Chain A
Amino acid sequence: MLQTRICSFESDPRGFVRATMSRGAELEGRDAREALESTWAVAGDQRTRVLVDMRLIRSETREAQQEFVSDYSATVCSAVGILIGSPVSRVIGNFFLRLNKHQVPTKLFNDGDAAVSWLLTNDP
């Protein structure tokens, strides 16, 4: 497991990395970069499927969103499932999904199991 300022990362034996945003996390560009680097490290320096739990997030900047759709992000992540729950995370998730061009499969989920099932249908 790996912990950064706003997120914890752990490798799931089913073949993906689970990234959980801290309560009230305010995600900026540098946090996003750090999150991607951490994901890469936790996955054992290889590309992986990622489940991002952002149900407790408070905000996410434009720079952070752009970092998550960058070429570097596509190098790190093969598919991204995003768990949303609070009305705030729902807004942020929808903004992220609809306002950006994604290079890898990306989808929003209210349910963790459904998210995992979908993730596993994607290549690692």
Chain B
Amino acid sequence: MSNGAQDPRLEEILEVLLSVARQEFDARAPVSDALDTVDAIATGINMVAEELGGAVTSKAKPEQAYRDLQAMQAQLAHSGKLAAVGELAGGVAHEINNPATGVVMAVALGRRTVSQLRQKLDAGATPEELEEHFTRLEELWADADEAMIRIRSVCEDLLTFSRMDDGPQVPISLNEVVRASCRLMNPSLKGSAKLELELGEPPAVMGSRGRIAQVVTNLLVNAAQAVDEDPTTQRIRVMTQEDGEQALISVEDTGPGVADEVKDRIFEAFFTTKPAGVGTGLGLALVSEIIDKHSGTMTVDRSELGGARFTVRLPGLHSEDSRVAAPGRAPVPESERPPEAQKRPRILIVDDEELLLKTYRHLLGTRYEVVVAKDGERGIEVLKGDNSFDLILCDLHMPGLDGIGLYEFLQKNMPHLLSGVVMTTGGAVSNRARKFLDETQPPLLRKPFNLKDLHKIIAQRLER
């Protein structure tokens, strides 16, 4: 055995080597002052251990950090989503449940009234004696009708919020968006503060309706979280107005306001001054991003109500550009109406719901000449045979060739009929359909619509 083999340092070097083999990289072999060959071996092994340890640690760190970040992101997204859904769901449930209850009660009362009517009829009551019951039935139906209109209105507001993708930029009325947002949020805010609306006459802006609604909603949620929960003393005020060529929305509250030292940071993601569990710190960052995308600005200062005031400024559209999407067009003066409009108008109705087709025919058949087709293809067949229609009432969503397909056929082959097209939809609007509606802006009837709406839109179209 050589002297080197007897060197006690080799035992320690061997121990370090075994540690490295076990992937334990913290141990180090001693290096003596001799700085000789054995020390060199120890140095080499020490450096290998350190290198491997560093490599393992640096590899593990980003992986762990990435996993932590992913988990954190998922958690935040989830809590953010839950918070938003929670805020909206509260309002929507309230707004729908109340009128829905009204409908249920009206139906129940109607059933009882019908039962009473039957009993009186069986007893030989006179028409005068039955009149009271008929009047009550009419009132109940009117109540149910009004309640259904309210429900439909909530659904329409909700649809505004479902359009969360950036989508095409269209002219938007800020007042409409603010009203819709406030209608939905008001029930949720009622327990916190009194919501006040002061709507001026801001110019229309070009943008995404859903995104702007998201801005208003987030600012409302932010304000509601800032105030003490006491609607008798706390206020949230939403204002719109014109400022030069800009449209302004401001949301202010009676909360504590935003401290000067954090004003520069409140639009940063994950920054929040709220207690743990209240807010994700994403709301204002999201708002800021949306406003940026709309070439707008957002500022925060102190409100005269005492709390914070968030002011959003968006570039307004010039008057010639600001045709906000609305069904129908200005009626054509009587003198300019073509003579054929004086005849009994012809209406083509295209819808895949046969029950609806029957109802349409029943409701409209007395006033108009009604032709029905149960999908787009059959609609085209009818048109190819005779296209002398004054109005085409077409469902947007149908199996096979849908309303968009029929519209495209008309664009290509019978463009003179396009001005007489009225679309109907059940509300579940796909991205394709939304794009179509934004680009073509046809008159639109949202289901469920009542008879009055139907007659009104038909009359508007026929008056062209």
Contacts and interface: CB of A to CB of B under 8 A. Distances in A.
A87 B39 contact: yes
Given A87-B40, A88-B43, A58 B51 contact: no
Interface stretch (B28-36, B68-76, B194-202, B249-257): B28-36
A86 B46 contact: no
A89 B50 CA distance: 17
B51 A89 contact: no
B44 interface: yes
Interface residues of A, number: 17
A87 B51 contact: no
Interface in B1-56: 31, 33, 35-37, 39-41, 43-44, 46-47, 50-51, 54
B33 A59 contact: no
Given A91-B44, A91-B47, A92-B47, A59 B31 contact: yes
A95 B44 contact: yes
Interface string A86-105: 11111110010001000000
A24 interface: yes
A5 interface: no
B40 A61 contact: no
A56 interface: yes
A30 interface: no
A62 B50 contact: yes
Given A59-B46, A95-B47, A88 B54 contact: no
Given A86-B40, A88-B39, A58 B47 contact: no
Nearest to B37: A87
B54 A59 contact: no
A58 B46 CA distance: 11
A24 B37 CA distance: 15
B50 A58 contact: no
Contacts of B35: 56, 58, 86-89
B117 to A, nearest CB: 93
Contacts of A61: 50
B contacts with A: majority SS: helix
Nearest to B42: A88
Contacts of B47: 60, 62, 91-92, 95
Max chain A Cβ within 10 angstroms of own Cβ: one of B35, B37, B51:
B35
Interface in A53-105: 56, 58-62, 86-92, 95, 99
A62 B54 contact: yes
Contacts of B44: 91, 95
A9 B123 CA distance: 122
Given A59-B43, A59-B46, A95-B44, A88 B31 contact: yes
Contacts of A59: 31, 43, 46
B40 A99 contact: no
Contact of B40 (A23, A56, A88): A88
A115 B35 CA distance: 22
Contacts of A92: 43, 47
A8 to B, nearest CB: 19
A56 B54 CA distance: 25
A88 B30 CA distance: 12
Given A24-B33, A86-B35, A91 B40 contact: yes
Contact of A86 (B36, B41, B51): B36
Interface in B249-287: none
Contacts of B41: 91
Contacts of A87: 35-37, 39-40
Max chain A Cβ within 10 angstroms of own Cβ: one of B39, B47, B50, B51:
B47
A91 B50 CA distance: 14
Interface string B151-164: 00000000000000
Contacts of A90: 40
A29 to B, nearest CB: 12
A65 B47 CA distance: 11
A62 B40 contact: no
Nearest to A26: B31
Interface in B50-102: 50-51, 54
A63 to B, nearest CB: 9
Interface string B361-396: 000000000000000000000000000000000000
Contacts of A86: 35-36, 39-40
A95 B41 CA distance: 12
Nearest to A99: B51
A61 B41 CA distance: 16
Nearest to A85: B35
B278 to A, nearest CB: 43
A56 B32 CA distance: 12
A64 B135 CA distance: 95
- Closest 9 A/B residue pairs (Cβ): A87-B40, A86-B35, A88-B35, A91-B44, A91-B40, A91-B43, A87-B37, A88-B43, A62-B50
Given A23-B33, A89-B35, 5 more contacts: A24-B33, A59-B46, A86-B40, A87-B39, A88-B31
28 contacts: A23-B33, A24-B33, A58-B31, A58-B39, A58-B43, A59-B31, A59-B43, A59-B46, A60-B47, A61-B50, A62-B47, A62-B50, A62-B54, A86-B35, A86-B39, A86-B40, A87-B36, A87-B37, A88-B43, A90-B40, A91-B40, A91-B41, A91-B44, A91-B47, A92-B47, A95-B44, A95-B47, A95-B51
